[in-house]
Structure 1
Amino acid sequence: MILVFGGTTEGKKVAGILEEYARPYYYSTKTEIDFSTGQYGQYRHGAMTAEDLQAFCIAQDVKAIVHASHPFASVLHETIHTSAQALSLPVFRFERSYPEKQEHPLIRYVDTYKAATGWLEQHPVKKLLALTGVQTIAPLQYYWQQHATIFRILPRESSLALAKAAGFPEEDLILEMPGDDLQQASALIKQYQIGAILTKESGESGFLSTKIKAALENNIPILIVRRPVLPEAFIPVTDAASLIGHLNRLGL
């Protein structure tokens, strides 16, 4: 049995690969999603502690983990690493592609949200567009309570509920799926008179290139929070050939 952590574009790719190569797998997400298991897959959802994950792997006779979840899922990174080390399981990190870093005065990479908002305090803007996800609304409360901020979040009831629970004003929310439409991204900046963008280094699956192009086109700064460093024990894979090659060598 192979355990796949998904909920992303990459997770769906992995599931498709395992179906194509007739490998039995569990597909796991934190929150429940619509997922077609196909012929070889099974689905589970719900957060797991390291103890939960180890118990699950033992019960289901998991022989390998494919980690294809979001690059900013720091808690999950650590949970998988701890559990895999305890059970001597290989972890294959199915990585998304990232645009090459550009050197430009308007593009600023930072390590933390605190560093980003610290820069914004020193370089105030009329209005910030935060493209960092609904989970960052509460941690960034100290900033948006003092400065005009627009958050774009996924058009889901659960996302709206989280935003409301954090006390964020609903009129300053944009409920919209991200995409690669540069014209639409640029129109958003103009419509809301955005002075800067805050986003994450979420790669091409997160349409980072489009966000950067929109910022540059409108001559506004974009602050990009660098993705967390992954444990060295994770084995990077990027396509079907590399993933199946590793699984074949394990006899899976």
Structure 2
Amino acid sequence: MILVIAGTSDSYQLIEGLINEGENLIASVTTDYGKKLIKEKFEIRVIKKRMNRDDLYNLIKKEKILLVVDATHPFAEEITKSAIKAVSEAGIKYIRYERKDIDLSQYDETTANIINADNYKQAAEKANDFERVFLTTGSKNVKTFINKISNFENRLFMRVMTFPAFIKKIIDLGLPPANIIAVKGPFTKEFNRSLFKEYGADVIVTKASGDSGGLKSKIEAAVELRIAVIVIRRPQINYPLVFNEAANLIEYIKTNHKAEV
């Protein structure tokens, strides 16, 4: 049995590929929306729970999991570290699917103003140097930006997914509803460009989430508008085994996993 820790569009592709290879799967997600997406496409068991190391270890033992495929978001650092520890303690194999990052050096410094940040706090401090800040990093760390950006009520704008709980959280933290754009991606360069222009953004804040996370379309839109982009680097994690191509990961499991069962 394989456990796929899911939650991104990449993870759904992996699940489909593994099912096509005849693998037995259980998927885990943290939201009702994630569970709904998987259940609509696949007839597999889906566990909706935000699991820590102990939860994962107990699930591995209970379900006799032999392999864990971690296909979470590049910034889901907590669950990834918990999974690596749980798998190590259980004595089974861990495989990480890490979506490809974008090489920012491809953008000409004369036309693109790309500013790197090591974490959310540093990104917020750098963003405070600009007049109007457009945040595209999700709701989880919005409090950091609210705390670091002076007069944020008039200077901070953010795009967030259309989940009422996310929107309520942001409003409760003090960001005016007029500063919140609730919309579901993916977003084209043209859509990003229109949105950034409409809100008069001087800087965009984003995560190094890769092309499938929409980073390229944000940067290209910002370049056309000649506005800056602050990119938060991915957490640095030492993965036991990592693949950047879904086909290569599936082929590895196909040729190695069943032989170990």
**TM-score, normalised via structure 2 length:** 0.89
Deviation at 1:171, TM superposition (A): 1.4
User: What CA distance in whole angstroms lies between the structure 1 residues aligned with 2:88 and 2:70?
Assistant: 14
Higher mean C-alpha displacement, 143-152 vs 216-225: 143-152
- Which residue in the other structure is 1:50 paired with? 53
- Which residue in the other structure is 2:230 paired with? 223
SS at match of 1:250: helix
Deviation string, structure 1 residues 183-217 (Cα, Å, up to 9, x no partner): 21111111111110010001111110011111111
- Runs of at least 4 residues off by over 6 Å: none
Pick aligned residue for 2:44 from 38, 41, 44: 41
User: What CA distance in whole angstroms lies between the structure 1 residues aligned with 2:57 and 2:133?
Assistant: 42
Higher mean C-alpha displacement, 146-155 vs 58-67: 146-155
Q: After superposition, where does 1:116-135 map in structure 2 within 5 Å?
A: 116-121=123-128, 124-135=129-140
- Which residue in the other structure is 1:93 paired with? 96
Higher mean C-alpha displacement, 67-76 vs 223-232: 223-232
- Which residue in the other structure is 2:179 paired with? 172
- Which residue in the other structure is 1:29 paired with? 29
- Which residue in the other structure is 1:143 paired with? 148
Q: After superposition, where does 1:170-249 map in structure 2 within 5 Å?
A: 170-249=177-256
Please tell me the root mean square deviation across aligned C-alpha atoms, in Å: 1.9
Structure 1 alignment gaps of length 5 or more: none
User: What CA distance in whole angstroms lies between the structure 2 residues aligned with 1:154 and 1:180?
Assistant: 12
Aligned 8 A contact 1:22 1:40 in 2: no
Aligned 8 A contact 1:237 1:243 in 2: no
User: What CA distance in whole angstroms lies between the structure 2 residues aligned with 1:76 and 1:26?
Assistant: 16
**TM-score, normalised via structure 1 length:** 0.92
Higher mean C-alpha displacement, 107-116 vs 205-214: 107-116
Deviation string, structure 1 residues 30-71 (Cα, Å, up to 9, x no partner): 122212276662111111121111011000000000010111
Deviation at 1:167, TM superposition (A): 2.9
User: What CA distance in whole angstroms lies between the structure 2 residues aligned with 1:90 and 1:75?
Assistant: 19
Aligned length: 250
AA paired with 1:100? D
Aligned 8 A contact 1:25 1:40 in 2: no
Aligned 8 A contact 2:102 2:211 in 1: yes
User: What CA distance in whole angstroms lies between the structure 2 residues aligned with 1:47 and 1:204?
Assistant: 26
Structure 2 alignment gaps of length 5 or more: none
Deviation at 1:155, TM superposition (A): 1.3
Higher mean C-alpha displacement, 167-176 vs 141-150: 141-150
Which of the pair is proportionally richer in helix?
Answer: 2
Deviation at 1:125, TM superposition (A): 2.1
Deviation at 1:16, TM superposition (A): 0.4
AA paired with 2:64? D
User: Matched residues, percent identical?
Assistant: 21
